[in-house]
C-alpha cells in the first residue's frame, strides 16, 4: 500500500491530472496483487458515480455558472455594500457578506472566489487596498463560504457516508455565521490601523432599493432550503430547481443571459462535472484498495497506541486535512480520507454529521493555505499580487479561521443546534 501511495504522489508531482493519478496508482496496485481481477476497476468506476445524489453536482455547478455572469452576483455585491459597507472594516465586510450570499447559491468554492474576487478586488484597489490585502480578504471569505450550503463537498460526503445531506446543509449555517463574525471582527480591529475609511452610510431608502434589485437573487436560497427542509424536494431536485430559477432570472428578469452564453455555460459545466466525476471514480478505486489492505484498521491501531482518544484523533484529523486538502483540491482528498478516517470516527463514537462539518471547515481553510492551496492561485490571477505578499496578508486570517475550526471541532453543539431545531438530528 505504501508503494501505491508513493506512486500516486509521483504522478501528482509530474503533473498527472488528479483523477488519473488516483485511478492509475490504484489500478497498478490491483495489478500487483494476486488473485484480484482487473475488471474490478470498471465495476468500481461505475459503482462510484452511479448515485442519484451525485446528480446534484452538475446542476449546482451549472447554477453557479449562470449566477456568476447573469447579473445576479453583481446585484448581491451591491446589496452587501449597502448593508455593511459603512461598518468599520469597510469593503472587507462587504466581501464576507457577499461571499455568504453567493455561496448559498453557487455550491462551488472556486466559483465563489472567482465571481466575488473579479468584482471586489478591483473596487478595493481603487479605494486604497493593496492587491495582496484585497486578495487575502477574498481568499479568507471564500474559505469561510464553503460552509454555506449548498456545498458540493457536503453532497459527496453525505452520499459516501450515508449521512443526510439536508442535515449537513443545516449543520453548516451556524459555523458559517460564527466564522463570518470572527473575520468581520478581525477586519474591524485591523482597519483601525490601516487608516482606510469605510464606505458612506446609505439611507434606508437606498438600502431598500438595492434589496429590491437583488430580491430575485436573494429568493433562490430560500426556495432551495425551504423546499429541502419542507420536504418538497430532495437536495438533487433542489439543484434542478436552482438551474431553472437561475435561467429564468438571468434570461427573463435581468435579461443578461443570452442563448450563446447559456450554451457556453452548459459546456463549462459539463467539463467541470466530468472532472469531478472522474476524481470520484478514481478515488473510489483507491479507497477500495485501502479497505482490502486494511489501512483503516492499521491507522486505528496507530492512533490507539498514541492515546488521547477522541481529542487526539480530532487534532490529528485536522492536521492531515490541512495538508491533503491543500494538495488535492478538496473532493479527491475527501474521497481518499473517508474510508480511512470515518471508520475510526465511528469506532470512537464521533457523530458523522459533526465529523463531516469539521472536515468541510478545514477543507475551506486548506484550499487557500499557501503555498499549496489550489484556490489561492485563482486569487493570485485576479489580484495581480505575488505569492509572498499575498501570504503575508493571508496568514492572520487563516489563524482566525483555524481558531473557529477548533471551536467547531470541540464544541459540537455549534454543529447540532440548527439540525436539531429543524428535526433533522438529535442532540443526544
CA distances from 426 to 148, 231, 416 (A): 21, 18, 8
Is residue 428 included in any domain, yes or no?
no
Structural domain for 117, as ranges: 2-421
Number of structural domains the chain divides into:
1
Q: What are phi and psi of 370, to 5 degrees?
A: -70, 150
CA-derived radius of gyration, the chain: 21
| Nine cell digits for residue 375 | 484556490
CA distances from 168 to 39, 48, 97, 150 (A): 35, 21, 21, 9
Pick the closest to residue 246 from 3, 21, 382, 67 (CA basis). 67
Q: Rounded to an integer, what distance in angstroms lies between the CA atom of residue 297 and that of residue 311?
A: 19
Q: What is the pLDDT of residue 108?
A: 65
CA atoms within 13 A on the CB side of 109: 32
- Give the pLDDT score at 195: 59
pLDDT digits (tens, 9 = 90+) for 283-302: 777 777 777 776 666 766 77
Q: Among 385, 413, 303, which Cα is nearest to 348's? A: 303
Task: Look at residue 405 in the predicted model and tell me its pLDDT.
Answer: 95
> What is the C-alpha separation between 151 and 225, in angstroms, rounded?
12
Does residue 426 belong to any structural domain of this protein? no
Of 48, 19, 53, 100, nearest to 282 by C-alpha is: 19
Digits of tens for pLDDT over the chain (428 positions)? 677 777 777 877 787 777 777 778 878 877 777 666 777 777 777 776 777 767 777 887 787 777 765 567 677 777 777 777 667 666 788 888 878 877 766 556 766 777 677 777 877 787 778 888 888 998 899 889 888 887 778 888 988 898 988 899 889 989 999 999 999 899 888 876 665 666 677 787 888 888 877 777 777 777 777 777 677 777 778 778 888 888 887 788 777 788 888 888 888 888 877 877 777 777 777 777 777 776 666 766 777 677 667 888 899 889 888 877 876 666 777 877 888 888 888 888 899 999 999 999 999 898 888 876 767 777 877 787 888 888 898 999 999 999 999 999 999 999 999 998 888 877 75
SS percent in the chain: helix, strand, coil, step 5: 80, 0, 20
Q: Are 265 and 250 in contact (CB under 8 A)?
A: no
Query: What's the confidence (pLDDT) of residue 53?
Result: 67
- How far apart are alpha carbons 142 and 8 in whole angstroms? 29
Residue 108 to residue 110: CA distance in whole angstroms: 6
Q: Look at residue 298 and tell me if it is in a domain.
A: yes
What phi, psi does 164 have (nearest 5°)? -60, 120
CB 213 within 8 A of CB 78: yes
The enclosing H or E element of 199 equals none
CA–CA dist 400, 409 (Å, integer): 14
The pLDDT value given to residue 341: 87
To which residue does cell 508531482 refer? 13
CA 174 – CA 422 distance, rounded (Å): 13
Cell numbers at 93, concatenated? 465586510
- Decide if 427 is inside a domain: no
Which residue in the block uniquely carries the three cell numbers 473575520? Answer: 183
The Cα angle at residue 226 between residues 58 and 268, in degrees rounded to 5: 15
The span from the CA of 278 to the CA of 22, in Å, is: 9
CB 132 within 8 A of CB 392: yes
pLDDT in tens, 157-187: 988 898 988 899 889 989 999 999 999 899 8
Amino acid at each position: 500500500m505504501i508503494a501505491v501511495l508513493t506512486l500516486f504522489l509521483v504522478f501528482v508531482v509530474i503533473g498527472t491530472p488528479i483523477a488519473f493519478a488516483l485511478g492509475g496508482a490504484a489500478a497498478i496496485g490491483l495489478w500487483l496483487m494476486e488473485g484480484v481481477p482487473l475488471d474490478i476497476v470498471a465495476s468500481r468506476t461505475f459503482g462510484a458515480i452511479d448515485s442519484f445524489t451525485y446528480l446534484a453536482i452538475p446542476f449546482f455547478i451549472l447554477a453557479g455558472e449562470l449566477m456568476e455572469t447573469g447579473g445576479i452576483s453583481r446585484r448581491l455585491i451591491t446589496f452587501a455594500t449597502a448593508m455593511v459597507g459603512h461598518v468599520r472594516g469597510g469593503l472587507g465586510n462587504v466581501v464576507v457578506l457577499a461571499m455568504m450570499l453567493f455561496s448559498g447559491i453557487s455550491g462551488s468554492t472556486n466559483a465563489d472566489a472567482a465571481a466575488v474576487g473579479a468584482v471586489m478586488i478591483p473596487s478595493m484597489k481603487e479605494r486604497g487596498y493593496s492587491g495582496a490585502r484585497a486578495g487575502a480578504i477574498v481568499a479568507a471569505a471564500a474559505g469561510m463560504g464553503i460552509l454555506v450550503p449548498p456545498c458540493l463537498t457536503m453532497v459527496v460526503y453525505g452520499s459516501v457516508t450515508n449521512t443526510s445531506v439536508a442535515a449537513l446543509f443545516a449543520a453548516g449555517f451556524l459555523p458559517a455565521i460564527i466564522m463570518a463574525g470572527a473575520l468581520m471582527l478581525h477586519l474591524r480591529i485591523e482597519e483601525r490601523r490601516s487608516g482606510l475609511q469605510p464606505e458612506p452610510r446609505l439611507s434606508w431608502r437606498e438600502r431598500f432599493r438595492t434589496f429590491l434589485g437583488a430580491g430575485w437573487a436573494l429568493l433562490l436560497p430560500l426556495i432551495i432550503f425551504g423546499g429541502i427542509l419542507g420536504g418538497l424536494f430532495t437536495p438533487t431536485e433542489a439543484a434542478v430547481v436552482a438551474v431553472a430559477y437561475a435561467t429564468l432570472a438571468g434570461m427573463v428578469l435581468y435579461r443578461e443571459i443570452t442563448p450563446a452564453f447559456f450554451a457556453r455555460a452548459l459546456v463549462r459545466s459539463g467539463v467541470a462535472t466530468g472532472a469531478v466525476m472522474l476524481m470520484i471514480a478514481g478515488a473510489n478505486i483507491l479507497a477500495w484498495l485501502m479497505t482490502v489492505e486494511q489501512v483503516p484498521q492499521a491507522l486505528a491501531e496507530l492512533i490507539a497506541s498514541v492515546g488521547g482518544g477522541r481529542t487526539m484523533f480530532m487534532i490529528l484529523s485536522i492536521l492531515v486535512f490541512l495538508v491533503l486538502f491543500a494538495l488535492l483540491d478538496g473532493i479527491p482528498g475527501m474521497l481518499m480520507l473517508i474510508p480511512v478516517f470515518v471508520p475510526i470516527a465511528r469506532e470512537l463514537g464521533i457523530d458523522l454529521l459533526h465529523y463531516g462539518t469539521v472536515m468541510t471547515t478545514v477543507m475551506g481553510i486548506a484550499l487557500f493555505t499557501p503555498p499549496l492551496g489550489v484556490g489561492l492561485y485563482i486569487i493570485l490571477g485576479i489580484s495581480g499580487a505575488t505569492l509572498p505578499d499575498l501570504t503575508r496578508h493571508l496568514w492572520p486570517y487563516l489563524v482566525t479561521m483555524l481558531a473557529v475550526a477548533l471551536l467547531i471541532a470541540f464544541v459540537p453543539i455549534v454543529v447540532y443546534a440548527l439540525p436539531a431545531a429543524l428535526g433533522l438530528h438529535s442532540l443526544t
